[in-house]
Each structure stands twice: as C-alpha cells, then as structure tokens.
Amino acid sequence: MSETPQSLETPAPRSPGKPGAWHHASLARALFSLALVLALGVLFPAEGAFFRLGTHQGALRQASVVGILACGLLPVILAGGIDLSVGSVLGLSAVVAAKLSIHAGEPAWLSVLLVLGMGAACGAASGSVVAFARVQPFVATLAMMVFARGLAKTTSGGTKVATAVPGPDGVLRYVEVPPLFRALDAQVLGGHVAAVTLVFLAIAAIVGVVCARHRLGRYLYAVGGNEEAARLSGVPVRATKILAYVISGVCAAAAGICQAAQEQQGDPEAGVTYELTAIAMVVIGGTSLKGGRGGMGLTLLGVLTIGYLDKILSINAVPEASRLMLTGAIVIVAAVAQKNT
C-alpha cells in the first residue's frame, strides 16, 4: 500500500480556517485573560482614570508599537522559531529613520523604503543563519540583537538623533520635525485615534491575511507543526523560515519608524526589552511556542491584554521594574498553560 501525501493546497485540520478544540480553548483563555485585566482596571481605577476615554486611547497608542513587533513575531513563532532581535532592530531603525528624515532631509517615501529594506536585510540575515547554518533561533537572533544594538549606537554616535543638527562649525542648529514624523504622531478620525494605531491595524491585517490565506501561511503552519513532514511534502522549508524572519524584520523596522515619530528623535536605546513584551503578547494570545498553532486574532487579544495591563499598572504608579517582572511571569504562566493543553 502506498500513501499519498496530503496536499498543502488544502488547509490541514490545524489551519486557522477550521478551528478545533485547541483553538476554542486558546480563544477562551485569551478572552479570560483580557477580561481579568479589565476587571483589574475596574477594581483599581486610579481615582477614576480608568473610566476616562483618554486612558483607553492612550492604551491603544502605547500598545501599537510593540503590537507591530508582535505581528512580525507571529510568522516566526508559527514556523517554530523565535526572534530576540526585534527590539534592537527597532532601535536601529529609529536611528536610521531620524538620520534620513531629520539630518539628511530625505523625502518620506525614500526614508521609509530604505529603513524597511534594512529591517528586511536584518531578518534575512537571521533567517539565513537559522535555515542554512542550522543554528538555534535563540542563538542566531541573540547575535543579531547584540549586533543591531551596537550598530545603532555606532550610527548615532552614542547620542539621540534629534532636531538639533550640528553644523560644520560645530554649532547646533534646530530644524523642523519632518512631515513623516508629524503624520505618524498625529491624531486622526476626529482626534480619537492615533495614526500609529492605524499603522498597527494595517500591518496586523496584512500579516493576518498572509498567515491565514496565503500559501506562505500554510507553509508556516506546516513547518512549525512538523518540519520533516513538511520537507517530505515538498515545502521549501529554508525559504519559508527566511521569509518568516524577513517579515519580522520589516515589522520591527516599521515599529522603529513609528517609535522615532512618537519621540521625534532616534534613540539608540529605543526598544530595549520590547522583544520580551512582544513575545508575551503572542504567547498570552494563545499561539504555541512549539509552532504550528496560533493566529492573528489570538495575537490581537494578547496585544490588548498586555497593553491594558501595562496601562493599568502605569496609572496606578506601579514601578517599571515591577511591570517587567510581571511580564516575565506572564510568559511563564502562558507557556505552562499551553503545555498542559
């Protein structure tokens, strides 16, 4: 008897289009986590601050940049990998975006194109080391994390790239904030939504469609579910892994541009520990760290959960150190819950 391998043109039972018991359990856990966080805000409203519209607008705005990182991490984690370099690539992208837009005065389209290309190159480098050299994703992306952070500090000269531009004589002259930064830092839709939030939602929609409807998405699920079976079924495993990291790099670069626009400067230290928060968003949403299971809908729930948790702790004046410890604990709890599913 001979068995015909299942065609990858037809989504497998674990595909996002046909949710099973695992998907329903993950969705229930993600919704419960979000409800628990919102209940925490009701119990500790910080003298009514939680019930103000501005608090919720601020929560969405603050979660948008790290949410973009989470969108980029989703394909990598679906394929069974991890990317620790996204925070450093964000910092590097913020510096380069500020250099191009503020100091060089380059047009917005060129600055965005060059920065996104740089992010794609960083992702391709990490993915190539993982796919061809067979280095563990943790080690490969840890190396890229250190390299990108060092490159950001070298490019910026160790200082923030702001609107104070040194002239040939060493005297500082101040230039206007570039239109690209003003546009991304603006409030739109009657002043109720931040432009960066719309960028986040657009990126989430694009990555979500790729993962759920595109052939690359099916390849990601197949590689993360069983890499050897995927290879025997004709899936281009190496190319799939590299493309996953390229998407992550592009999203990190987009997040860096948004970060620079919000701060109106390029900070080489921007994005430190953001990778931890982004991973927490993906994991608490229910996407499996083992790969092969998850989706954008679950990731968005994770973004809301971590975003609101950070905002609630912030308005209640909880120190940042405690927030970081809590985020680490959340990742462990979510990972244990997945293991027992």
pLDDT tens, 12-60? 434 444 456 777 888 888 898 899 889 989 998 888 899 999 999 999 9
* Residue 218 pLDDT greater than 90, yes or no: yes
Q: What is the pTM of this model?
A: 0.90
Given this model, what pLDDT does residue 93 score? Answer: 97
Q: How confident is the model at residue 6 (pLDDT cuts 50, 70, 90)?
A: very low
5 pLDDT more than 60: no
Sorted by sequence, the CB contacts under 8 Å of residue 284 that are 6+ apart come out as 30, 33, 302, 305, 306, 330, 331, 334
In this prediction, residue 320 carries a pLDDT of: 81
| Banded pLDDT at 8 (limits 50, 70, 90) | very low
pLDDT band at 318 (very low <50, low <70, confident <90, very high): confident
Q: Which two tokens stand for residue 193?
A: 């939504």
Which DSSP symbol is given to 67?
H
Length of the chain: 341
Pairing relation of β-strands 164-166 and 187-188? Answer: unpaired
Q: What is the mean pLDDT of residues 282-288?
A: 88
Report the pLDDT value the prediction gives residue 98, as an integer from 0 to 100.
95
Task: Give the pLDDT score at 338.
Answer: 63
- How far apart are alpha carbons 254 and 162 in whole angstroms? 19
Q: How far apart are CA 179 and CA 328, in angstroms?
A: 38
198-202, 314-318, 329-333: the lowest-pLDDT one: 329-333
Across residues 102-119, what is the average pLDDT?
95
Report pLDDT for 2: 42
**pLDDT value at residue 340:** 64
pLDDT at 335 > cutoff 80: no
Confidence (pLDDT) at 20: 67
pLDDT at res. 4: 40
If you average pLDDT over residues 253-260, what whole number do you get? 97
Q: How many helices (H) and strands (E) does the chain have?
A: 13, 4
Check whether 9 has a pLDDT greater than 80: no
- Rounded to an integer, the average pLDDT of 211-222 is 95
